[in-house]
Amino acid sequence: PPSLPGGSPLFCKAGRLSCSASPAGRCSRTFAWGQLPRAGSSKMMKFRFRRQGHDPQREKIKQDLFAFNKTVEHGFPNQPSSLAFDPKLRIMAIGTKSGAVKIYGAPGVEFTGLHRETATVTQLHFLPGQGQLLSLLDDNTLHLWEIYQKDGYSHLEETRSFLLPGRPGSPPSITRVTVILLMSTCDVACLGTEGGGVYFLELPSLTLLEDKSLYQDEILQSVPEDYKCGKALGPVESLQEHPQDPTRILIGFSRGLMVLWNKSTREVEHLFLGNQQLESVSWERSGRTVVSSHSDGSYAVWSVTEGSPKTIQPVTSTVPYGPFPCKAINKIVWQTCESGGHFIIFSGGMPRASYGDRHCVTILQGQTLVTLDFTSRVIDFFTVYDTEVEEEFDNPTALVVLVEEELVVIDLQTPGWPTIPAPYLAPLHSSAITCSYHISNVPLKLWERIISAGEQQSPRLSSGNWPITGGRNLAQEPTQRGLLLTGHEDGTVRFWDASGVSLKPLYKLGTAHIFQTDCEHNDSLNQSGDEEWPPFRKVGCFDPYSDDPRLGIQKIVLCKYTAKMLVAGTAGQVLVMELNDEKSEHTINVAVVDLLQDREGFTWKGHDRLTPKNGSLSFSQGFQPAALVQCMPPAAVTAVTLHSEWNLVAFGTSHGFGLYDYYRRNPVLARCTLHPNDSLAMEGPLSRVKSLKKSLRQSFRRIRKSRVSGKKRVNANSPSSKVQEANAQLAEQAGPHEVEMTPVQRRIEPRSADDSLSGVVRCLCFADTFLRDAAHHGPTMWAGTNSGSVFAYALEVPSQEKFSERSVEAVLGKEIQLMHRAPVVSIAVLDGRGNPLPEPYEVSRDLAKAPDMQGSHSVLIASEEQFKVFTLPKVSAKTKFKLTAHEGCRVRRVALVNFASVACEDYAENCLACLTNLGDIHVFTVPGLRPQVHYDCIRKEDISGIASCVFTKHGQGFYLISPSEFERFSLSTRNITEPLCVLDLNRAHDTTCLGNCNFTATPKLNQANGTHALQGSEANHSPASNDRTPDELQASFSPTPVDSPNNSIDTPLDTTGEITVEEVKDFLVPSEEAERNLRNMTEDEARSPGILIK
């Protein structure tokens, strides 16, 4: 046997060669035959055979790079149920049906709390100026919330709860709270109940003052006999404190009776004998007038003076939208104005027969009446007015209306009462979100052009400022501009400023007007005529109806350096857009690409294509279409990519992919990816002809398969409960193209080539890399499909000067078939140093380092089941990680992310972030594919949340927690966007909570939609390492620790499960011979390997 350096050879009992080089003569290392190290390869040997263990140095680096936080919720709260406003602190609170409480102040000032019980928040009431909030849930519990300061920032925490005890011998509904009044002294809360009683709670201790309770029997003693008629007064509908005398409370009962009650003397001072069911009551500021609203759509005005009799009749009673029967006026407010003419503002009251389905708030001042027409149900409203006691008038400045799907603010000072644009709480789902796309580090010039286009699009009509201005935002100004683009069902793309805590709308791009849609938009429906009664004015932007479902946006790509954008839709339309600072009028160039390539036996049964309008069209400032590529059949576009330096667009559907040169306006390539059995691909998402028999057959097959595999593979050494749960979830979610896998054997089961929808193109990418040979690099295009196929094309792109003379040519270079046929989720080419290739124009504009073109490139292919790195140009497997075999899950989203260290500004690592169908996020090094951290992010049941997730390039992400809200999260220790704010309080009385509550410093302790768990050592360390010395820091970043992504020299294959060998077809021979062969090829021969040259 060969001798080893430093010692003589010995044989072990197992027939392995042992080294006796250690001083004690013990066997220090064992090597299997064929694994003997070469002389001079001690570094390589150390890397190959060092055990994976705890590396403290690497753990410190990981703490400086990775930390998981859910930071802020963008958008509009889902299913709001209550509203409150603190006029002293100028903050607003919204409660939801899921038990969430959200408080908003000035932009950037946000607090979120979540009740422990998942119950609807039916009422919210601020203790004015105290930073405290009382909430009532539909389970009849009261909860006190408090905004407190810790570490220089304000936080929201629940401090107490209370349940009103029932009366002995009475049903529980008797003490069900119907209305709450917080006295102006902030020390007592009055609770009106369904049984007609009024109870008093001491604040903030939430202690019941039993001796002060007021029961209906006591009230009835003062009511005239002819009014009683043997009937009960009903539940308490309203409690209102007298604006000038806090000892007097106006109590309104459902039957219509109102009582002015003196707390001090416990006497009824006045009786207001109403004969209609009461809905709402409001005082006029001076306390001399009361206005009440009723279930028949009327409101009544009552006069209260010192000389008024005990029993009072209304001065006037009006049905504003009569004479025909009207719906109830749910809430009414009376506000005085110094300029003359008081405001009466109310919700509801519409004529029942003709407009009973409208959601309206009416503003009436003198002879001016406007009916604000909303597209969703009105929850509540309030006015912003002068609350100083010494002021004689209310002088309202704004009306804030919360409806089910948005918040609208009306400027009451500007003539015409226009809306004030909201700096946050934008309804992201004004049309349903269908896709999203994030751009980091947006150049200032592009940013300003987009903002300018947005301002031209919706000129500001109101001179009023946003009225909710409480608190101070302490967060630093964003270091870079982030843009979030959302595609919508109605064919619009909305641009959002995602740089900070508040998600602010910038610009809206519409595509519907380019096509002849099924139902043309009729603006006459939105605007009322001069003579129409009621005088409706449509307000708000929530519009759930789409003119045509084919308009839905599926994919968006934007080049931030050239302002070129791709917008692809549901009916195979791919729009190439350009940003123009002026209006223009032009004809759109249309190119039709047949992706079936005359394949026989396939008939498209889905929807028709959208027909573009003929002739020249006018376009406003902003993104304007330059070209339209129409895929045929018109199936939904599943993947797009753009290379602005090469003027190329790639697109894919469930039938194939194509390449388009938008400079010369001509298609370059079309490739069909359909398998002969891909029948489902021809039916389309909007088709109604899918075979019920086929669906049932597939369902029964899946059930039968899961039963058989369950019986055969029962193992005493079963995996952890998490993996079992994951596979149960997979069995429930498995679609026609998925085969159930069993985690017991920790294998990836191969999929059948006959699976339906195997031709769906899942990802596309462009790269300047080595495909022909190791000496020549050039433009390439890569496409990955649902069946695990990867196609790599070599592109002949002319130089910038010859773009107009020569056309782009595409030659099929490689075809890779992953043996397990798992869908390919992502493809990325890495340079010689293992770094991702820069974006187009980044290098030429000195915005990124030039890629390493000396070392060998590699391609990272991420499928639903594993990640694999192949060397280029030979396409031999270099490294892999089988996520399914390890975790029993499927990959749903991946992205290459740059993580910057919080401890050293110059240190950063490129990593692969991966979201699975279990809602977990994994981070791996690149190109070594070594697992770094693992977090629980999204609930596995939240399929739409997982599907909507998008990662940013610097370690943040967004996903939908409801149709109207994005949850923002961060994987980076350094790059975090979260609310950091303070609310300056001057409490009238000290709270008892702060002394006995142990608050945590996290502003968002409980998440309604997911938790996170640190894995391994991350749970025991703080994210930052500020206590480390400079020498330790330098040691942390010393080169090539074992786990480092940079130490990828000869990285061995991860051999978990069985080793697979991919099928690789190489259609490119050395370049000289290829040129000779191409000249001699006939047209038929050129088609056979799938080459199509234009």
Residue 657, CA distances (Å) to 496, 610, 632, 633 in order = 30, 19, 11, 12
Strongest mean pLDDT among 299-308, 585-594, 879-888, 1060-1069:
585-594
Check pLDDT > 50 for residue 45.
Answer: no
Check pLDDT > 50 for residue 700.
Answer: yes
Check pLDDT > 80 for residue 248.
Answer: yes
- Decide if 470 contacts 981 (C-beta within 8 A): no
Q: What is the pLDDT of residue 249?
A: 96
Check pLDDT > 50 for residue 1084.
Answer: no
Give the residues across from 439 on adjacent strands: 483
How many other CB atoms sit within 10 Å of the CB of residue 318? 14
Coil/strand/helix, residue 833? coil
d(CA 793, CA 825): 18
Which whole number is the average pLDDT over 381-405? 93
How many other CB atoms sit within 10 Å of the CB of residue 426? 22
Q: Are strands 622-632 and 589-594 parallel, antiparallel or unpaired?
A: parallel
Q: What is the pLDDT of residues 814-838, one digit of tens each?
A: 999 998 889 999 999 999 999 999 9
1072: confidence class by pLDDT, cuts 50, 70, 90: low
547: confidence class by pLDDT, cuts 50, 70, 90: confident
Coil/strand/helix, residue 878? strand
Q: What is the pLDDT of residue 525?
A: 45
Coil/strand/helix, residue 930? coil
Here the tokens at position 254 are 């459902």
Check pLDDT > 50 for residue 741.
Answer: no
Q: What is the pLDDT of residues 743-757, one digit of tens each?
A: 332 344 455 554 558
- Most distant CA pair in the chain, distance: 120
Query: Which of 255-259, 561-565, 993-997 comes out lowest in average pLDDT?
Result: 993-997
Check pLDDT > 90 for residue 523.
Answer: no
How many other CB atoms sit within 10 Å of the CB of residue 650? 27
DSSP string, 78-106: SSEEEEEEETTTTEEEEEETTSEEEEE-S
Which whole number is the average pLDDT over 68-91? 96
Q: What is the pLDDT of residues 140-195, one digit of tens each?
A: 999 999 999 999 999 999 999 999 998 777 788 899 999 999 999 899 999 999 99
- Residue labelled with tokens 């998942």: 118
DSSP string, 339-391: TSS-EEEEEE--BHHHHTT-EEEEEEETTEEEEEEESS-EEEEEEE----TT-
Q: What is the pLDDT of residue 53?
A: 61
Percent of the chain with pLDDT over 70: 77
Check pLDDT > 80 for residue 767.
Answer: yes
Q: What is the pLDDT of residue 560?
A: 95
Q: What is the pLDDT of residue 824?
A: 97
Q: What is the pLDDT of residue 697?
A: 57
Burial of 15 (C-beta count, 10 Å sphere; 0-12/13-18/19+): exposed
Contacts 24+ apart (CB under 8 A), 500-503: 500/108, 500/475, 500/977, 501/72, 501/107, 501/108, 501/110, 501/473, 501/475, 501/977, 501/978, 501/979, 502/74, 502/107, 502/108, 502/423, 502/424, 503/74, 503/75, 503/424, 503/426, 503/428, 503/966
Percent of the chain with pLDDT over 90: 63
d(CA 464, CA 409): 10
Q: What is the pLDDT of residue 520?
A: 53
Cis peptide before 534 (omega within 30 of 0): yes
Query: What pTM was estimated for this model as a whole?
Result: 0.82
Pick the residue with more confidence: 681 or 523? 681
322: confidence class by pLDDT, cuts 50, 70, 90: confident
Check pLDDT > 80 for residue 196.
Answer: yes
Here the tokens at position 98 are 């899921």
Q: What is the pLDDT of residue 272?
A: 94
Q: What is the pLDDT of residue 967?
A: 97
Question: Residue 1081: which residues within 8 A CB-CB, separation 6 or more?
Answer: none
- Decide if 669 contacts 661 (C-beta within 8 A): no
- Residue labelled with tokens 């123009």: 580
Q: What is the pLDDT of residue 751?
A: 58
Here the tokens at position 276 are 């209609």
d(CA 950, CA 968): 10
